[in-house]
Amino acid sequence: MNYRNPNQTDSLSILGFGCLRFPKKGKAIDMEETEREILYAIEHGINYFDTAYIYSGSEEALGTILQKHNCREKVMIATKLPHYLIKKAGDIDRFFDEQLKRLKTDYIDYYLMHMLPDVNIWNRLIDLGILEWLESKKQAGIIKRIGFSYHGNTAAFQELLDAYSWDFCQIQYNYMDEQSQAGVAGLKKAASKHIPVIIMEPLRGGRLVNNLPKKALDLFDRAEPKRSPAEWALRWLWNQEDVSVVLSGMNSMEMLEENIRIASTVSVGELGEKEMHLFEQVKKALNDKIKVPCTGCGYCMPCPKGVDIPGVFRCYNVSYAEGYNKAFKEYIMCTTLRDKKSNASLCVQCGKCETHCPQTIEIRKHLKNVVRRFEHPIYKVVSVVIKKRFQGKPKRD
């Protein structure tokens, strides 16, 4: 196993175990198989395990297995505060205490604000007393590192990076998201602060393996050396020195063994010009299937009415290229979890965005298509529920 330590403190295995997708037996976690995989992972050098409050049964399963085999001190546990469920200050302690109980531990190594969308929501948490709470836990050694996970655009990510002295961050990043989400620009900015960057969705939930068009598959098949699409995608990430840990939801022993093999043989800068050209060809093959040729450059922003134009176009394209359900969930996250909504129907057809678009995209026309695609009655109900949860001033106890 290879390790990286950008902050010169923890030595992190470059392959992290994503605990959202533990093996299942029916609808429940298959504890026997999960135990076998976790122990194998630890024996082969994986020391970073990522879970969350809302990952059903995950924290309990991880805690039970680590306690049973006396492995707690061999690993670093990352879990997340569900800020979107918090209504008053006392909820922070309530959720955290429950997480400690589930994980059967008295401290958390890496604690994240889960799916923190923008500075406005962070400020809401500050109003609830999160800064004092985090610092007190850190001084007491109950939380070792403080960070956040993020889905959204590059600009909002960079604002969040500057909003607090974070110890680490977690972003969605893969060869198709190089210019979207936090993107390579966000990765570079985080690295400039000398903090670990944890990568989630390295394969876009498996879609860079299972949903590739034939042209992309043929490109990988012809490439030398012979590697699977998954291995190519992982090597693209680990080729970059600013990537600290890549999380993988490994729910089979075969997948675990394969990923450990790759993580034990990669090195920074190993991909040359020929390999990088391969990725450009694969990206083109994937982009040929998209509906809106948006590159995510952000020149159209800010929208006077608050529409996250690159974000909603990305969701729209994903809905056709990778599946509607994934895209709809992402659209909800990108447009409703923030303090201010940023959905496509806010567009008033002013056209300001189109005067700045280097791709000369008919943005207004495509935003109407986005509205028809996503903003149906279910979206409107979810939007109202989220608005009620976040409206008004937060309450300190």
pLDDT tens string 273-293? 999 999 999 999 988 877 887
Q: Does residue 20 sit in helix, strand or coil?
A: helix
Instruction: Answer whether residue 117 shows pLDDT above 90.
Output: no
Structure tokens, 286: 């994937």
How do strand 197-200 and strand 168-172 relate by DSSP bridges? parallel
Instruction: Answer whether residue 9 shows pLDDT above 90.
Output: no
Strands of the chain, DSSP E? 3-4, 12-13, 15-18, 24-25, 28-29, 48-50, 76-81, 108-113, 143-150, 168-172, 197-200, 245-248
- Where do the structural domains in the chain lie, given as residue ranges? 3-278, 309-390
Instruction: Answer whether residue 208 shows pLDDT above 60.
Output: yes
Cα–Cα distance measured from residue 384 to residue 231, given in angstroms and rounded to the nearest whole number: 42
Residue 209 near residue 154 (C-beta atoms within 8 A): no
| CA max distance for the chain | 62
Q: Does residue 247 sit in helix, strand or coil?
A: strand
Half-sphere exposure of 125 (CA within 13 A, CB side): 28
How do strand 197-200 and strand 76-81 relate by DSSP bridges? unpaired
Which are the contacts of 78, defined by CB distance < 8 A and separation ≥ 6?
Answer: 16, 48, 49, 50, 51, 108, 109, 110, 111, 112, 170, 198
SS percent in the chain: helix, strand, coil, step 5: 50, 15, 40
Instruction: Answer whether residue 162 shows pLDDT above 60.
Output: yes
| pLDDT recorded at residue 396 | 66
Looking at per-residue pLDDT, the higher value among 338 and 264 belongs to: 264
Cα→Cα distances 311→179, 283, 332, Å: 11, 18, 11
Structure tokens, 211: 């949903």
Find the mean pLDDT for residues 347-366: 90
Which are the contacts of 389, defined by CB distance < 8 A and separation ≥ 6?
Answer: 84, 87
Pick the closest to residue 58 from 19, 97, 24, 28 (CA basis).
19
Find the mean pLDDT for residues 4-25: 91
| pLDDT recorded at residue 251 | 87
Token pair 């979810």 in the structure block, residue: 382
Q: Does residue 150 sit in helix, strand or coil?
A: strand
Looking at per-residue pLDDT, the higher value among 337 and 99 belongs to: 99
Cα–Cα distance measured from residue 55 to residue 126, given in angstroms and rounded to the nearest whole number: 25
| pLDDT recorded at residue 345 | 96
Cα–Cα distance measured from residue 220 to residue 232, given in angstroms and rounded to the nearest whole number: 8
Cα–Cα distance measured from residue 235 to residue 215, given in angstroms and rounded to the nearest whole number: 20
Is the entire prediction scored with pTM above 0.85? Answer: no
Instruction: Answer whether residue 392 shows pLDDT above 90.
Output: no
Q: What are phi and psi of 150, to 5 degrees?
A: -145, 135
Instruction: Answer whether residue 174 shows pLDDT above 80.
Output: yes
Instruction: Answer whether residue 304 shows pLDDT above 90.
Output: yes
Cα–Cα distance measured from residue 83 to residue 116, given in angstroms and rounded to the nearest whole number: 8
Instruction: Answer whether residue 391 shows pLDDT above 60.
Output: no
Instruction: Answer whether residue 33 shows pLDDT above 80.
Output: yes
User: Is 1.10.3720.10 the CATH number for 3-278?
Assistant: no
Cα–Cα distance measured from residue 20 to residue 52, given in angstroms and rounded to the nearest whole number: 8
Cα–Cα distance measured from residue 341 to residue 262, given in angstroms and rounded to the nearest whole number: 41
| pLDDT recorded at residue 389 | 67
Element (H, E) at 14: none
Token pair 């298509």 in the structure block, residue: 369
Residue 48 near residue 75 (C-beta atoms within 8 A): yes
Token pair 């995510």 in the structure block, residue: 296
Find the mean pLDDT for residues 357-369: 89
